[in-house]
Structure 1
Amino acid sequence: MNFPNELTLEQQFRLQTLKDQVQTLSQQEAQEFLMEVLRQMMVKDNLVKQLFKQA
């Protein structure tokens, strides 16, 4: 499989918007945000793995 490693224009926009928002976070808020993002990435990984098993 060939997976593109570039972001779409919409994703680039969303990333810039998030970048602007996190600039104003305190260190504690940034750490909590990072932990939630990592948790969500792990959940996504689990879902992808499950989908591959079912395919």
Structure 2
Amino acid sequence: MNFSNQLSLEQEFELILYKQKIKPLNLEQSRNLLSEILKTMLLKDSIIKYVIRNSHFRQ
């Protein structure tokens, strides 16, 4: 597999949307949003690991 450090076009777009969403927030709101985003990323990580572990396609 070839992994790159570059974001896909969809990811670039999502990043722009997050930046726009964060800009008007105060510090507390920014921290809360960051916590929610990190939680979502960790859940996504767990789901990916679960799928890989239980995949019939792994070798």
Pick the TM interval, shorter chain: 0.7 to 0.9
Runs of 4+ in 1 over 2 A off after TM superposition: 1-5
TM-score (norm 1): 0.83
Q: Which has the larger radius of gyration?
A: 2
Alignment: residue pair count? 55
Gapped regions of structure 1 (runs ≥ 5): none
TM-score (norm 2): 0.78
Gapped regions of structure 2 (runs ≥ 5): none
Which structure's relative contact order is higher, taking Cα pairs within 8 Å and 6+ residues apart? 1
- The structure where helix makes up a greater share of residues is 1
